A and B are shown apart, each in its own frame.
Chain A
């Protein structure tokens, strides 16, 4: 007996220790390991990084684990996602604001002191000029701000400032401000670009209007916020300073120089606070012709695309797109030139600095440079669209190219591990390619996009893994996994959602006129109530609360012969609207497999002819209430 107890104690200790084992980070020294070993994450273990890939014109965000390159989940943002009911339940439907599409380009993680803080992820919807905020506590979209007034096609967006004071947006396709009937031929006269600073509440992350600046109608393309010494400034590239309005391919590619707009966002906000802005379509717009000291133009050769500030915040690196060089401007030199008033005229009221006064270096990276990321050793990595390569180069004298690696094919953005912060980790870069061609098993004409994981830890870049993605990642962000601490159930005690009920005794169906409210709860494996009686013509609002507090026990609510389905997470309350259209019986069921008796989790809607005398208050049977109540009585 005694030996038995000792054995049990030993077993208990062993089991206890086993359950304490953390998911290994897989971060060990990579040297000497094969590429396969370096991306292999053992079953049950976790990746070292989260990667957030924009979903492009799918409107979503894809979450990957790195270095395994496994797709973990997709976060619905700008596009309805019926599996979870995003855009279908009342709250998310309202948030989508009538749009069923977005083009999500640039995810931007919130920062504190120029480093990712793991609180929020912002992402733009270019065509509809909107910005979404995803809370990284629950990986859900919590706010969609916009359409931003006056602004058209928010491509240079959101690129948060170092303490997430602001996210930014700028017009890629200028339009009249305010937008009105106009002739396209009057482009230079009538059309204007907008650069907007959107304030972010430091506690809630809630976005609100900060300021707008009226800009020449150039195509404002990409952006990055200054950091360190350049904190307080934000930089925006443009093409089409020619102000062409048709056949841009040729007409917008003629000028030797386009520009970076350098915005002093503290000065801009101050000017708005001092009442120097004019309200246009509800937004405070500053005109640089009358409000000085808020924005300057720095010349950059040949239709630049990406602009990226290096980790120390000293250099502004613009990729030439139609030129084989990265142009590196010095923030300090730019400040000197501004202080000395050395301007070369103005464009529509915006002072233009001299190219030579700001220039620090030109780095001959290769053909079609688009974007630059950084590591922890003072190196930069630039994507080359035409050469299908990544170039590694040294930031600082002698400003030389160190290494190149082929990618497959036609790379757009690239994403280094925390590679746009003040402290990149220098471990990986991911090439986000525009064409996959022959890289994967063929799935017909619609090819997936391609991506490659590349190891930066050795003296030379090394290709580790090639993986397909769904359409179409542009920019991405990679953050160390331990910075995120998502919760996995919503605490019921904190659920204050209207329509929430916490007890089976409170389940009921109320009707007022033709509006029917079903206050119900779901728990393994019950709908309470599971019989709902309505009349033809009724607008029925189902408010379901999931009373589970267990990991991964989500329940679904799908109505047969309808487009209505949603998932209700543990501890969550969601409302869905459904209209009773035909007399008859309409089953509903749990659409998200929940437990052993999931198949039995169903109910019926009894739809009676219009005008039937259906009770104004219906309650589930006392037997059902008692059975479910016993489960929940703690």
Chain B
């Protein structure tokens, strides 16, 4: 119990602040992609791109929608995603929590924040997987080209009709992962220090 209500040593505290700084400012701006999907076809050797940010989708959307309509896929539009209305705010909230934990210097606050963040990330991943599944399965039965339903890859490479698709996390997700990892790292550093302190010299 005293562990949870305890304070951070200086090095660990700096880590939490760093995590906060990584989380805090960037996600209101569509600068760092969360996820990217690149598509190649014989006549699109230069590739088409979908780039997902915390608050919108960009890339060759009109073109991809025009191509997708032949197989009856729903058009991809940023307005369809409620997620964009809370994702940046949520990420910022986790940043604020981390910052608060470091400022008031309470370990329990950091742990609660980290756990919420982890749960939220898991939720978002499953949400993303659901969207991908829906796009590939909710096909207009009146479409000109009838295609068996499919699921675009969450991560990695696959082939769909005449398209090759590569789906990868973006720099935003890499930064989020770093911020997330700083939690366990801080905990490990502290554990190591305590063991050293406990060892008779």
Q: A5-B156, A19-B45 are in contact. Are A597 and B144 (CB under 8 A)?
A: yes
Q: Which residues of B contact A549 (CB under 8 A)?
A: 62-63
Q: Which residues of A contact B69 (CB under 8 A)?
A: 627, 630-631
Q: Is B177 an interface residue (CB 8 A)?
A: no
A8, A627, A630: which contacts B156 (Cβ < 8 A)? A8
Q: A5-B155, A596-B70 are in contact. Are A632 and B62 (CB under 8 A)?
A: yes
Q: Which residues of A contact B78 (CB under 8 A)?
A: 634
B40, B60, B62: which contacts A631 (Cβ < 8 A)? B62
B70, B79, B144, B166: which contacts A15 (Cβ < 8 A)? B166
Q: Which of B142-167 contact A (CB under 8 A)?
A: 144-145, 155-157, 166
Q: Is the CB of A548 within 8 A of B66?
A: yes
Expressed in whole angstroms, the minimum distance between the Cβ of A4 and any Cβ of chain B is 7
Q: Is the CB of A11 within 8 A of B166?
A: yes
Nearest residue in A to B153 (C-beta to C-beta)? A8
Expressed in whole angstroms, the minimum distance between the Cβ of B33 and any Cβ of chain A is 14
> In the bound complex, how far is the Cα of B75 from the Cα of A8, in angstroms?
28
Q: Is A550 an interface residue (CB 8 A)?
A: yes
Q: Is B168 an interface residue (CB 8 A)?
A: yes
A4, A19, A550, A633: which contacts B75 (Cβ < 8 A)? A633
Q: Which of B1-54 contact A (CB under 8 A)?
A: 38, 40, 45-47
> In the bound complex, how far is the Cα of B59 from the Cα of A549, in angstroms?
12
Q: Is A106 an interface residue (CB 8 A)?
A: no
Expressed in whole angstroms, the minimum distance between the Cβ of A148 and any Cβ of chain B is 45
Expressed in whole angstroms, the minimum distance between the Cβ of A553 and any Cβ of chain B is 8
Q: Is the CB of B157 within 8 A of A597?
A: no
Task: Return the CB mask of A600-612 against B: 1 if under 8 Å, else 0.
Answer: 1000000000000
Mostly, the A contact residues are helix
Q: Is B132 an interface residue (CB 8 A)?
A: no
> In the bound complex, how far is the Cα of B79 from the Cα of A634, in angstroms?
8
Q: Which of A2-27 contact B (CB under 8 A)?
A: 4-5, 8-9, 11-12, 15, 19
Expressed in whole angstroms, the minimum distance between the Cβ of B51 and any Cβ of chain A is 13
Q: Which of B61-96 contact A (CB under 8 A)?
A: 61-63, 65-67, 69-70, 74-75, 77-79
> In the bound complex, how far is the Cα of B65 from the Cα of A627, in angstroms?
12
Q: Which residues of B contact A12 (CB under 8 A)?
A: 38, 166, 168
Expressed in whole angstroms, the minimum distance between the Cβ of B55 and any Cβ of chain A is 15
Expressed in whole angstroms, the minimum distance between the Cβ of B72 and any Cβ of chain A is 11
Q: Is the CB of A19 within 8 A of B46?
A: yes
Q: Is A523 an interface residue (CB 8 A)?
A: yes
> In the bound complex, how far is the Cα of B167 from the Cα of A15, in angstroms?
13
Q: How many A-B residue pairs have CB under 8 A?
A: 57
Nearest residue in B to A633 (C-beta to C-beta)? B77
> In the bound complex, how far is the Cα of B70 from the Cα of A600, in angstroms?
12
> In the bound complex, how far is the Cα of B67 from the Cα of A634, in angstroms?
14
Q: Which residues of B contact A634 (CB under 8 A)?
A: 61-62, 65, 77-78
Q: Which residues of B contact A548 (CB under 8 A)?
A: 63, 66
Q: A5-B155, A524-B66 are in contact. Are A630 and B166 (CB under 8 A)?
A: no
B45, B66, B166: which contacts A523 (Cβ < 8 A)? B66
Expressed in whole angstroms, the minimum distance between the Cβ of B37 and any Cβ of chain A is 11
Q: Which of B96-128 contact A (CB under 8 A)?
A: none
Nearest residue in A to B60 (C-beta to C-beta)? A550
Expressed in whole angstroms, the minimum distance between the Cβ of B147 and any Cβ of chain A is 13
Expressed in whole angstroms, the minimum distance between the Cβ of A501 and any Cβ of chain B is 16
Q: Which residues of B contact A4 (CB under 8 A)?
A: 156
Expressed in whole angstroms, the minimum distance between the Cβ of B67 and any Cβ of chain A is 8
Q: A8-B168, A12-B166, A19-B47 are in contact. Are A631 and B157 (CB under 8 A)?
A: no
Q: Which residues of B contact A631 (CB under 8 A)?
A: 62, 65-66, 69, 75
> In the bound complex, how far is the Cα of B67 from the Cα of A8, in angstroms?
25
> In the bound complex, how far is the Cα of B65 from the Cα of A110, in angstroms?
41
> In the bound complex, how far is the Cα of B187 from the Cα of A245, in angstroms?
104
Q: Which of A503-556 contact B (CB under 8 A)?
A: 523-524, 548-550
> In the bound complex, how far is the Cα of B164 from the Cα of A15, in angstroms?
11
Q: Is the CB of A550 within 8 A of B63?
A: yes
Expressed in whole angstroms, the minimum distance between the Cβ of A431 and any Cβ of chain B is 37
Expressed in whole angstroms, the minimum distance between the Cβ of B35 and any Cβ of chain A is 13
Residues of B in contact with A (beta carbons under 8 Å apart) = 38, 40, 45-47, 60-63, 65-67, 69-70, 74-75, 77-79, 144-145, 155-157, 166, 168
Residues of A in contact with B (beta carbons under 8 Å apart) = 4-5, 8-9, 11-12, 15, 19, 523-524, 548-550, 596-597, 600, 627, 630-634
A-B contact pairs, 14 of them (CB 8 A): A5-B155, A8-B168, A11-B166, A12-B168, A15-B38, A15-B47, A15-B166, A19-B47, A550-B66, A597-B144, A631-B75, A632-B65, A633-B79, A634-B65
Which 3 residue pairs are nearest across A and B when measured between Cβ atoms? A630-B75, A550-B63, A8-B156
Known contacts A633-B77, A633-B79; 11 further A-B pairs (Cβ under 8 A): A5-B155, A8-B166, A8-B168, A19-B45, A524-B66, A550-B60, A596-B144, A597-B70, A600-B144, A627-B69, A633-B75
